[in-house]
Amino acid sequence: MNSGPSSSSHTPAAVRGQAKRRRTFAVISHPDSGKSTLTEALALHARAIGTAGATHGKAGRRSTVSDWMSMEQERGISITSAALQFEYDDVVFNLLDTPGHADFSEDTYRVLSAVDSAVMLVDAAKGLEVQTMKLFEVCKHRGIPIVTVINKWDRAGHEPLALMDEIHERTGMLPTPLTWPVGQSGDFRGVLDRLTGEYTKYTRDSGGASIAGEETFAPEAAQQLEGETWTTAVDEAELLELEEQDHDQEAYLAGRTTPVLFASAVLNFGVHKLLDTLVAIAPAAEPRPDVNEEPRPVDAPFSGFVFKVQAGMDSNHRDRLAYVRVCSGVFERGMVVTHANTGKPFATKYAQQVFGRDREAVDEAFPGDVVGLVNASALGVGDSLYLDRKVVFPGIPTFSPEHFMVIRAKDSSKYKQFRKGIEQLDHEGVIQVLRSDLRGDQAPVLGAVGPMQFEVAEDRMVNEFNAPCELERLNFSIARRTVRDSVPTLSRERNVEVLSRSDGELLALFSDRWRLQGVERAHPDVVLEPLVVS
Ligand code: GDP
């Protein structure tokens, strides 16, 4: 069989060099913290290379490739996630988009399995919010290093030292500010660079849509310019030093500390510094451990794993798109790779379609990059692809579902389509499908992390699989892993149901924490374990 260009024209040293230039990251934040604004500002500072469904298509902003369902357009949100690639200071950034909507889905978590670091964006007036904390927990679990950006410093907000305390208390990470604000929130004049002691003064230019002006001054000049305000910043920075809140690369990489920057994304203040920081300290693409915990060297033949699957990018041509994070070697468009899970070949000749604008730039991709593969119905979330030398990367764990609905075909003559649709959605990881003998195949239970997953599933069942269906909410909110021996006991309990998931797990569902605790107390021998969170 012709396996396409199996050996790339790049030497192993060149591939290692490319991996070293990569910074693959996500911005984790609560909605409205300024993630879209920051993303646009970052792209403005850098040279955007390719967009695979760039930033959110909010009303009044440019709509994006990822606005694939009318549902998304109606609400002006991006349900699915994709990647934005840009170059700055000879470094290639891959910014993976995590949906910024209040409703959560597994997609959000999966994106974090494909990044090497994260930027936690915090609104200066609000501090750490619910979703920031949820996403932070996932990063912590996965050992993803985090740089924190305090945003909206141009608006009145908390005291900077109080924000540092909050981060420390709530995340357990010691904040190690790299810059310190000159001027209270609402009076953002610039920042003190804690490493050099210099003052970067920001100047507003017309409109704020272009790159903000920056001037750097030595401490003495800063003192003359800003007087008391500078002195305050210096005093506070000294306090941080006394508390040993200085950057420590090893502690940052280990997730014990979080370097902090102050910014105003809307004014483009501090964006430059964020890019410089990520260039200097954020981890590059490194060898990824396989299922046997053996790291695949970045210069080994091509390998990658699917971290999300998306359908229906183009409503005229319903198609499935798999986003693959490259882990090793060079991805060259047109190559035929092997799908590790089935051993079957997978042709990649349409890989370019995802990247609308600059086709040349994405003819090849290196470790850390994201490639979108079309015609990917065979690929599921967590699947591995490789060239020449087999590798299987650990699957992406499925999250504990918190919402449950029974799904039934509305039209019994469409049962075949219904079944096919359910199987496909399950396979892609759009939704978890739970079954039991009691409920039968005609009415499986769908489990989701966020309720919007049901809407996506229903939309696709109707429009893609031509299987109109109805959904009925079930009064469960907690799932626990159990074992076969415990099933008889659990089945006798009121308001408890045991279902099996396609990965073989047995899930016991409970209405709430109290019901779970009641059953645990009544039957201490029954196995009820929390499902993996990440
Ligand atoms: P997202 O939901 O996290 O993507 O947030 P957006 O980027 O859409 O920003 C939410 C709102 O905050 C918008 O009205 C932005 O103009 C505003 N915003 C973003 N960054 C800043 C900032 O640095 N300062 C101020 N004052 N407003 C900001």
70 φ, ψ (degrees, to nearest 5)? -60, -30
Contact residues for 342 (Cβ-Cβ < 8 A; gap 6+) = 378
pLDDT in the model for residue 323: 87
Higher per-residue confidence, 126 vs 56: 126
Q: pLDDT tens digits, residue range 365-378?
A: 899 998 888 777 78
Edge to edge, what strands does the sheet with 403-409 contain?
469-473, 403-409, 445-448, 432-435, 496-501, 506-510, 478-482, 529-530
Q: Where does the pLDDT of residue 211 fall: very low under 50, low under 70, confident under 90, or very high at 90 and above?
A: low
Can you give the pLDDT at residue 412? 87
What per-residue confidence (pLDDT) applies to 311? 67
Is 247 labeled as ligand-binding?
no
Confidence band of 530 (pLDDT split at 50, 70, 90): confident
| 199-203, 228-232, 350-354: least confident range | 350-354
CA distance 342 to 383: 9
Ligand 1: atom nearest CA of 264 is 23
The pLDDT > 70 percentage for the chain reads 84
* 282-304 residue pLDDT tens: 999 999 999 999 999 999 999 99
Which segment of 317-321, 351-355, 389-393 scores lowest on mean pLDDT?
A: 351-355
Q: DSSP alpha helices (H): ranges in 227-270? A: 228-242, 249-253
CA of 225 to the centre of ligand 1 (A): 29
pLDDT on residue 82: 66
pLDDT tier for residue 350 given thresholds of 50, 70 and 90: low
- pLDDT band at 441, cuts 50/70/90? confident
Distance from residue 151's CA to the centre of ligand 1 (Å): 9
What is the CATH number assigned to the segment(s) 288-386?
3.40.50.300
CA 397 to chain centre: 14
Does the CB atom of residue 151 touch ligand 1 within 6 A? yes
3-state secondary structure of 270: coil
> In terms of DSSP bridges, do strands 529-530 and 478-482 run parallel, antiparallel, or are they unpaired?
antiparallel
Q: Regarding predicted confidence, which is higher, 52 or 262?
A: 262
Q: What is the mean pLDDT of the chain?
A: 85
Whether the CB of 264 sits within 6 Å of ligand 1: yes
77 C-alpha to center of ligand 1: Å?
15
CA of 37 to the centre of ligand 1 (A): 6
Verify whether ligand 1 is closer than 6 Å to residue 126 (CB atom). Answer: no
Question: Ligand 1 pocket, 35 CB below 6 A?
Answer: yes
pLDDT value at 322 more than 90: no
From the CB of 34, is ligand 1 less than 6 Å away? yes
Measured between alpha carbons, how far is residue 320 from residues 224, 290, 317 in Å?
61, 26, 10
Nearest atom in ligand 1 to the alpha carbon of residue 265 is: 23
For ligand 1, what atom is nearest to the CA of residue 31? 2
The SS3 call for residue 192 is strand
Instruction: Indicate which residue's Cα is closest to atom 11 of ligand 1.
Output: 32
302: three-class secondary structure by DSSP:
coil
Supply angle C-alpha 467, 469, 475, rounded to 5: 150
Nearest to 21, CA basis, from 317, 302, 368: 368
Is the torsion defined by CA of 401, 134, 108, 332 positive or negative? negative
Per-residue model confidence as pLDDT tens digits over 12-25: 999 999 999 999 99
pLDDT of amino acid 463: 87
By DSSP bridging, strand 257-262 and strand 174-177 are parallel
Q: Is 328 in the pocket of ligand 1 (CB under 6 A)?
A: no
Give the CA distances from residue 504 to residues 59, 119, 291, 480, 500, in Å, rounded to whole numbers and listed in that order. 43, 35, 18, 13, 6
Whole-number Å distance between alpha carbons of 157 and 163: 10
How far apart CA 498 and CA 435 sit, in angstroms, is 9
Residue 348 near residue 364, CB atoms below 8 Å = no
Residue 58 pLDDT level (bands cut at 50, 70, 90): very low
Ligand 1 lined by 29 (C-beta under 6 Å): yes
- CATH 3.40.50.300 intervals, the chain: 22-281, 288-386
Say yes or no: CB of residue 381 within 6 Å of ligand 1. no
CB distance 481 to 400 below 8 Å: no
CATH 1.10.760.10 fits 22-281, yes or no: no
- Are 491 and 500 spatial neighbours (Cβ–Cβ below 8 Å)? no
Distance 73 CA to ligand 1 centre (A): 20
Distance CA 426, CA 430 (A): 6
Instruction: Please calculate the CA angle 453-456-458 and round it to the nearest 5 degrees.
Output: 110
Which residue has its alpha carbon closest to ligand 1 atom 6?
34
Listing DSSP states for 30-98 in one string gives -TTSSHHHHHHHHHHHSEEEEEES-S---TTSPP-TT--SHHHHHHT---S--EEEEEETTEEEEEEPP
| pLDDT, mean of residues 384-411 | 91
For the chain, the maximum distance between any two Cα atoms, rounded to a whole number of angstroms, is: 81
DSSP string, 404-468: EEEEEESSGGGHHHHHHHHHHHHHHTSSEEEE-TTT-TTSPEEEESSTHHHHHHHHHHHHTS---
Expressed in angstroms and rounded, the spacing between residue 44 Cα and the centre of ligand 1 is 16
Bridge partners of 257?
174
Query: Does 1 score more than 80 pLDDT?
Result: no
Ligand 1 atom with the smallest distance to the CA of 37 is 7
CA of 266 to the centre of ligand 1 (A): 6
- Of the two residues 84 and 26, the one the predictor is more confident about is 26
Residue 355: pLDDT band by 50, 70, 90 thresholds? very low
Rounded Cα distance, 460 and 287, in Å: 37
Atom 10 of ligand 1: nearest residue by CA position: 32
**Any known ligand binding at 368?**
no
For residue 151, the ligand 1 atom closest to its alpha carbon is: 23
Q: Tell me the per-residue pLDDT of 485-526, one tens digit each, with 9 for 90 and over.
A: 999 999 999 999 999 998 888 999 999 999 999 999 999 999
pTM (2 d.p.): 0.83
Which residue is closest in CA terms to ligand 1's atom 15?
34
Q: Is 99 annotated as a binding residue?
A: yes
Task: Give the C-alpha separation, 379 to 374, whole Å.
Answer: 10
Span of 98-112, 244-258, 270-284, 298-312 with lowest mean pLDDT: 98-112
Candidate of 28, 32, 130 to mutate for ligand 1, largest count of ligand atoms within 8 Å of Cβ: 32
Which element (helix H / strand E) includes 499? strand 496-501
* Gap between the Cα atoms of 516 and 509, Å rounded: 9
Nearest CA to ligand 1 atom 24: 152
pLDDT band at 75 (very low <50, low <70, confident <90, very high): very low
For residue 92 the two structure tokens come to: 């290639």
Residue 155 in contact with ligand 1 by CB distance below 6 A: yes
User: Tokens standing for 486?
Assistant: 């415990």
Residue 171 and residue 202 in contact, taking contact as beta carbons nearer than 8 Å: no
pLDDT band per the 50, 70, 90 thresholds, residue 167: very high
What single-letter amino acid sits at 440?
G
- Residue 526: the pLDDT is 95
CATH number for the domain formed by residue range(s) 403-522 = 3.30.70.3280
> Which H helix or E strand runs over 259?
strand 257-262
Nearest alpha carbon to residue 331 among 284, 389, 385: 385
Which candidate, 425, 429, 427, 434, places its Cα nearest to that of 467?
A: 425
Q: Which of 103, 153, 266 to mutate to test the pocket of ligand 1 (most atoms within 8 A of CB)?
A: 266
Which of 29, 33, 37 has most ligand 1 atoms within 8 Å of CB, for mutation?
37
Residue 333 has, within 13 A of its CA and on its CB side, a CA count of 18
Contact 265 CB / ligand 1 (< 6 Å): yes
Residue 31 CB less than 6 A away from ligand 1: yes
- Flag whether pLDDT at 361 surpasses 90: no
The pLDDT value recorded for residue 318 is 53
Quote the pLDDT of residue 63.
Answer: 36
100 lines ligand 1 (CB under 6 A): yes
Q: Which atom of ligand 1 is nearest to the CA of 38?
A: 7
Query: How far is Cα 331 from Cα 328, in angstroms, rounded to an integer?
Result: 9
**Per-residue model confidence (pLDDT) at position 453:** 84
Give the nearest ligand 1 atom to 121 CA. Answer: 3
Residues of the chain with CATH 3.30.70.3280: 403-522
